[in-house]
Structure 1
Amino acid sequence: MTRSSPGKIKKYLAILLSLLFCVSSVVAQVKTPIPLASTFSMHSQVLGEDRTIVVALPAGYVSSNASYPVLYLLDGDQNIWHVAGSVEILTRTGAMPPVIIVGVKSENRMRDFTPSSVEGVPYSGGGKNFLNFISAELIPYIESNYRTHPYRLLEGHSLAGLFAVNTFLENTQLFDAYIVMSPAMWWNNEEMTEKAKSFFKNDAELNRSIYFGIGADDGQGMQNELGRFVETIQQDAPKGLSWSHKVFENEGHMSAPLLANYYGLKFVFSTLKLPDALWQEFDSEKFLAHERMIMETYGEFAKQSEGDYVTLGLKLVEEGNYEGAITVFKRNTEAYPIYPANFAWLADAYEKHADYDKAIEAYSLALTKSKAINFGQEKNYMHNIERLSKLTQTE
């Protein structure tokens, strides 16, 4: 797809690099430390024991009334560190919406994550009980005590990846998306692959997402076992199932999850991105319909990356589609209301559309926000306000 000429793209990139520098300056001024997560203990009647739960709230949770999707993270006490970091970066850049991360600390992985009892493997086969704990106790508790959006994800690694696959097959509707990292598909003579063969043939339609990631250094056996499961999807994938499988070169069993989590999240939320057709032939109504769709699906803070909004808006300005540019830049100011330059771009589009009063209003907002964070563009914005005010007086 060709979105613009190389010369135009270079100009857009220069502007965006300037934007990123400004954004970094704004972010650098935030001094208040933010704790990564809080921890609490809950008693499970199903498991007959107390379980430790780790919860990481998205930035802005306390100051908003919004509801957020929930990422349920197995082995949460270990994985919360890298997962929370990736989520923060992807959220800040518009690659995914802000989410609540709920990590479940592991107590007995062999018991909780295995779907069947295997002779000679002590404690195995408690997966059904653990799934009942999640569905009947943990999820209701989280949804009663936090502002949650209906969209849910489940993420697991190794034996926990096996559990995630079994949950997908046994209780598919419980989660909207699954991120499966280096799963132990060898369990019980590849039980999950055998189960999947009938599952996929019987399910004609399945509106879910599942992502598989594994390291190339994880061993040929692990890769082949996962590969055979993936083959069942390739042969009989139900309509509506979105799936992906990636092998990470030079990564092993314990390092691959860092990349699998990152790319898994990007894949699961890839529908946030604007369709190519809107870049090629822009339509304001279709653009706004897409934005409404992602907010309904993933919560009110779902958005494009700031760079995409700006690049599209500038492209429309260059093409003379000022009304379209105004639509995009207005959405950008709603999605990214902190940065003064976003309001200045909106003001410029209004001016080119000869709507000087609204241009003055947008520049005034840019000025106010610039003063608030010492953005350094106050004189420029004031000059534009004065210049446009004179134009309105002479009309």
Structure 2
Amino acid sequence: MKLLIKFLPFITSLIFESSCTHAQTENLPQAPHAENAKGEPIIIGNKFEIYSEVLGEEKELYISLPPKYNEHVQSYPIVFSLEAEYLFEVTNTVTQYMASRSKMPESIVVGIANGEFDKRHEAGYKRWGGKPEEYIRFFRHELIPYLEQNYRVNSHRTIIGLSPSTGFLFEVFHSQPDLFHSYLALSAHLEWDRVTGSSLFDEVISKNNDPNHPKTVFYMGRAASDFSTFVHSEEKFDDALLKLKNYTPDRVRIKVDVMDNEEHYLMSLAGLRSGFEAIYPDDVWRNPGWAGWDKTIDYAHEHFKTYYDKLSSIYGFDIYPVENAHGYGFSLTGKIHGAEKFGTNQQVIQLAKLGISYFPNSVQLHLRLAEAYKEDGNIPLAIETSQKARKLAKEFKPEDLQAFNKKVEEIEN
């Protein structure tokens, strides 16, 4: 199906502003107008439109790519966020935070904007006036093929909805369960039956023993403060939590959250973290940091390759460690720093070589390996690797080429 793409002449960015009352500012210098403000925008992604023949309208999309996307070579899972005007930025922030702490894989985040506030109901239940069938065709025949053609995406997909748009999650879970692997229903309305006379939660757990249903994860969260406002909502969540006590997941892993001291929409902040933890459980995604150092251990093989190969087999797609992160204990380059400071030069070489197998275009990893080869007395390999680093810097880090050239010269002299 033909899809028309129109890129907008601007990109989504975070703008930081402050405001004060006149009394607070009358003796202070006035801030410059936005067009005259100094500094650069903090870019979090692109915003563009595609024309959907299925929906008969242009849909505004937001997309954020993982750090170093153009330098790295791997494919990524997709996290789809409905209600993009409200959820896109926080979803992107949570995924990047968790990935940087090695609690989930780096992901491509795609937001589908409503355009108008009331259009959010289009992704709701069919019985309440939504058109989930059209949105399912939009995803399957237009949006996902477009992303597959233009970005390095793999087949692992998560869909996030909020309040009325969670209806789409339940609808697609039943009618097209192969479309998404994981579902995060924030402010889920379990009291709004999808089919008259049915229990929404019972419909989900009924698929657990269905051998034809793909393995999925379904997260349902709600603020406890909603229970005094929405009729039968507390009753439905109490029933769900009770049934989970004797529930053994097979085809469908379910997590239900009732969040105290949260509000209907604000629960999204904690809900996203909790929902992703349901997909990527803490007992599977370890804390990669460690205390101390053992010079006899092959950390590259035992701590990284074996572990990430196991994760890849669990999820069905290649999962890699983080190259760089905020904190030495959570990335490959951080572990190399630890080996340089506390370990052996052989451990540095092992870690750097493994890192390059994951990230073959990394200038930093090639330089660390070249330095280790020089330390080891292998000058030919040190020069060869440093020259490779210089070549990569010209392609991927031209703005820092002078600094990298200086580093290469130090290695080669």
User: What range describes the TM-score normalised by the shorter chain of this pair?
Assistant: 0.5 to 0.7
Aligned-partner SS, 1:36: strand
Q: Which residue of 2 aligns with 1:326?
A: 349
Q: 1-side partners of 2:50 and 2:398: how far apart?
A: 45
Do residues 56 (structure 1) and 63 (structure 2) align? yes
Number of corresponding residues: 348
Distance 1:137 1:227, change over 3 A: farther
Please say if residues 72 and 101 of structure 1, whose CA atoms lie closer than 8 Å, have aligned partners that are also in contact.
yes
Aligned-partner SS, 1:199: coil
Q: Which residue of 2 aligns with 1:185?
A: 190
Distance 1:133 1:320, change over 3 A: closer
Structure 1 residue 252: Cα displacement = 0.8
Q: What letter matches 2:192 in structure 1?
A: W
Relative contact order higher in (CA < 8 Å, ≥ 6 apart): 1
Structure 1 residue 101: Cα displacement = 0.8
List runs of 5+ in structure 1 lacking aligned partners.
Answer: 1-29, 118-122, 387-395
1:34-49 alignment, distance < 5 Å: 34=43, 36-45=45-54, 49=56
Q: What letter matches 1:303 in structure 2?
A: P
Structure 1 window deviating more from structure 2 (370-379 vs 58-67): it is 370-379
Q: Which residue of 2 aligns with 1:168?
A: 173
Q: What letter matches 1:326 in structure 2?
A: I
Do residues 288 (structure 1) and 305 (structure 2) align? yes
Structure 1 window deviating more from structure 2 (36-45 vs 328-337): it is 328-337
Please say if residues 197 and 232 of structure 1, whose CA atoms lie closer than 8 Å, have aligned partners that are also in contact.
no
Structure 1 residue 75: Cα displacement = 1.9
Aligned-partner SS, 2:208: helix
Please say if residues 193 and 229 of structure 1, whose CA atoms lie closer than 8 Å, have aligned partners that are also in contact.
yes
Q: 1-side partners of 2:276 and 2:49: how far apart?
A: 26
1:246-265 alignment, distance < 5 Å: 246-265=257-276
Q: Which residue of 2 aligns with 1:120?
A: none
Structure 1 residue 305: Cα displacement = 5.9
- Across the aligned residues of Structure 1 and Structure 2, the Cα RMSD in angstroms comes to 4.8
Structure 1 residue 156: Cα displacement = 0.7
TM-score of the pair, normalised by structure 1: 0.65
Q: 2-side partners of 1:204 and 1:324: how far apart?
A: 47
Please say if residues 43 and 51 of structure 1, whose CA atoms lie closer than 8 Å, have aligned partners that are also in contact.
yes
Q: 2-side partners of 1:320 and 1:227: how far apart?
A: 53
1:1-395 alignment, distance < 5 Å: 34=43, 36-45=45-54, 49-58=56-65, 67-90=75-98, 95-105=104-114, 108-115=119-126, 117=127, 123-124=128-129, 126-144=131-149, 146-188=151-193, 191-203=199-211, 206-219=214-227, 222=233, 225-239=236-250, 241-265=252-276, 267-269=278-280, 284-285=300-301, 287-288=304-305, 290-291=307-308, 302-304=320-322, 306=324, 307=328, 308=330, 309-310=332-333, 312-313=335-336, 323-332=346-355, 335=359, 340=364, 346=369, 350=373, 355=378, 357-358=380-381, 373=400, 386=413
Please say if residues 206 and 240 of structure 1, whose CA atoms lie closer than 8 Å, have aligned partners that are also in contact.
yes
Structure 1 residue 253: Cα displacement = 0.9
Structure 1 residue 361: Cα displacement = 5.8
Residues 261-307 of structure 1, C-alpha deviation per residue, up to 9 Å, x if partnerless?
Answer: 24434553569987679979756556335446767968778433633
Distance 1:285 1:65, change over 3 A: closer
TM-score of the pair, normalised by structure 2: 0.63
Please say if residues 38 and 56 of structure 1, whose CA atoms lie closer than 8 Å, have aligned partners that are also in contact.
yes
Distance 1:134 1:347, change over 3 A: closer
Identity %: 16
Q: 2-side partners of 1:140 and 1:344: how far apart?
A: 38
Residues 163-183 of structure 1, C-alpha deviation per residue, up to 9 Å, x if partnerless?
Answer: 323433443221122222120
